[in-house]
Each structure stands twice: as structure tokens, then as C-alpha cells.
Amino acid sequence: MMALLGLLCPSCTLSERVQSLHRYEFRKILMGTDARIVLYAPDDASAETAARAAFDRIDELEQALSDYRLDSEVARVARELRPGTPLPIREDLAHALARSKEIRIRTDGAFDERMGLLTRLWRRARADGAPPPPDEARRAFAQSRVDYELVPGPALLASAPIVFDFGGIGKGLAADEAARVLRSHGIARFLIDMGGDLLAGLPPPGRPGWPVRIEGLHGPADLLLLSERAIATSGPTYQHLVVEGSPLSHILDPRSGRPVDTPRVVSVVCPDAATADALASALSVLGPREAYSIAERFPACAWRIEEEAGLYRNEAFRRLEAESAGAHGDEARGNSIRTQDPLPGSL
């Protein structure tokens, strides 16, 4: 980015080059949400070209990972995968599977990409207002235990059919790819908002970070300043099913196949959006007691869990709060961006 600015104005100082940047904002409905890119660029053409390329890349990821689109790669795998026979797949799906499997192992199965049938079953249950039939739930849970491997090609090999669900990591993967595209176009100062899952590049000129207001269990909570980091928030705020007076989250526990029954809001900050997205889903399942041990496997990430019983944060999140409190002012408070869960029908 600095090299580009130098070419535009060889005699300018660094401060003058940064001041020559202008703010642009672009929106497009992708992955079932209002995808938004805020960026700083030297001119309209540079901004529009970079944003268009980033949105095109997100659309490619949606084409690969969506379980709502009948023409997606995930839908094709569900139709065509045969036990014991390698099925050729594209690189985007292979990458998503590799990242997902890695995080599944690191979270002891609290995050799991093999939950497609269960996700569909409980999605229908929320629409019907009643739990799914027990026999259907048992069959869907059994399928979510089928393992697979990626073989050269790339190709997918499994012992039984699998329906994948990337709802817990897909938007993060898309944000990471969009950021890569923006940087390849010389854009370093940006914020990518995938329905409340955020990825921040360098901050706006003259600012210490992008102000982000975290959603708590009962409304807006902490204000953070983010730079070169991603944040994902997961919780039951928008989607849940009430059974016998108890709300059941849209988040499923892969270990039991049932919805999480403790209302909690989890926010995770990591260097990349895919890890933040998936870890927020996993910690929503685990809760605070197990979170401390699992999160040690992600030393670069900060997390916050809020339940009716209390508020829990790791030391990295406390440091981030302290740094943000020392840097932000009244102007940041008035222009913060709020995190939130994706709306129903996403990915």
C-alpha cells in the first residue's frame, strides 16, 4: 500500500500520503447477509475495482460452501458422494474442509463441519415450533459421526454419505479471502462486515483502530478498537426454539446432536476471521469452564463469554479491553460498529 502511495506522490511525506486516502463503503447481499466493505483508497476507480473483486471472491466461496443453494459444491457432494469412491472437489471446498477438520480436532469436537443433516433437521424444527422426531434425530446424528479424508486431486473419500454445514466458519473464510483480494489491489485500510462477523485491516487514517461495539446478552457491551484482527460473536439472540418453556439455541452441540440450552453470548478475537468464527461456535457449545482449557490451544485469540451466571474473559481479552479503553475517545464511541449473529437463512 505504501509503495502504491509512493508511486502516486513520490515527493509526499508518509503523513501526506495517508491523508490523500478517501473513505468508501460498499454493500452487497451475499451468504444470506448484508456484506459490507469499508475501505480507504486514493480514488473512486481503485476503490470500486477492489471492492468488486472482493465481493466476487465472496460469491465464489458461497457457490462452494452454501447448503441453501442447490447448485453449490456442498450440495453436489451430498448428491454424488459414494462410500469408498473418491469424489473430485474444487480447491475452495478442499481448503474449507481442511481448516474445519483442523479446528474440530483442536476443539475436541465442539466445532464440527459434518452437521449438515442435523442442521437441516433443527432448522425445520424451529420453523415448525417443535423438536424433530427422535428417530430422525438419531439417524442424522449417526451421519454426523462419519469421518472422511482428503486425497490428492483434491478429492473427498468417505465410508458413508456426508452432508456438510459450514455455517460456523463459512463467513470467516469468506472474509479472509476478501481481505486477501483487497490487499492484492493495494488496499490496506479496510473493514469487512459479514453480518456482524468483522475483519479489520489497518485502521482509518489517523485512528488507533476500528471501533467495534460487542453485543452482550442484554444489549451492547464492550467497545473495542481493532486493527489487523477479526471478531466473531455467536449466541442465541436471533434464532431459537422454545421447548417446555426453555429456549434452545440455533447452535447445535456436535457431541450430542442437540441445541445448546444455556443462553450465552460469545465473542472471539483472532488474527484471522475463519478461526474467530469457528472458535466462537465452539465456545458457545463448551461454555466458560471448558473454554479456558480449549482456548489455550489458540494462544493468539481473545475471548469473552457472557451468561446469566456471569461474565468470563481470558487474559488476552482483558488486555484488549484495557488497550481499547486507553485509546478510544468520544468520537469512537459515537461511530462504533456492532457485532451480531447472522440472520436466519445465512450460508
Percentage of the residues of the chain whose pLDDT score is greater than 70: 85
Q: Are 158 and 83 in contact (CB under 8 A)?
A: yes
Give the integer Cα–Cα distance in Å for 133 and 244: 16
User: CA-to-CA distance for 333 and 212, rounded, in angstroms?
Assistant: 9
Q: How confident is the model at residue 1 (pLDDT cuts 50, 70, 90)?
A: very low
pLDDT value, residue 45: 98
**Per-residue model confidence (pLDDT) at position 331:** 42
| Mean pLDDT for the stretch of residues 94-120 | 96
Q: What is the dihedral of CA 47, 49, 50, 51, to 10 degrees?
A: 80
Give the tens place of pLDDT for each residue, 253-308.
Answer: 999 998 888 888 999 999 999 999 999 999 999 989 999 989 889 999 999 999 98
State pTM to two decimals: 0.87
β-strands 246-249, 310-313 pairing: unpaired
Model confidence at 93: pLDDT above 60: yes
When pLDDT is cut at 50, 70 and 90, the band that residue 18 belongs to is low
Contact present, 347 and 166 (Cβ < 8 Å): yes
DSSP strand E in 167-274: where? 190-194, 197-200, 210-216, 219-226, 229-234, 240-243, 246-249, 252-253, 258-259, 264-270
| pLDDT tens per residue, range 136-176 | 999 999 999 999 999 999 999 999 999 999 999 999 999 99
Inter-residue contact 177 to 58 (CB < 8 Å): yes
290: helix, coil or strand?
A: helix
- The rounded mean pLDDT for the chain is 86
CA-to-CA distance for 29 and 34, rounded, in angstroms? 5
Q: Taking 50 as the threshold, does the pLDDT of residue 195 lie above it?
A: yes
**pLDDT given for residue 197 in this prediction:** 92
Nearest by Cα to 75 from 64, 84, 85: 64
197-200 and 210-216 strand pairing: unpaired
Q: Does the structure show a pLDDT above 90 at 125?
A: no
pLDDT at 251: 86
CB neighbours of residue 131 within 10 Å: 17
Q: Are the C-beta atoms of 170 and 31 separated by less than 8 Å?
A: yes
Among candidate residues 228, 194, 163, the one with its CA nearest the CA of residue 31: 194
Which pLDDT tens digit goes with each residue over 320-338? 999 998 776 544 444 555 5
How many other C-beta atoms lie within 10 A of the C-beta of residue 215? Answer: 20
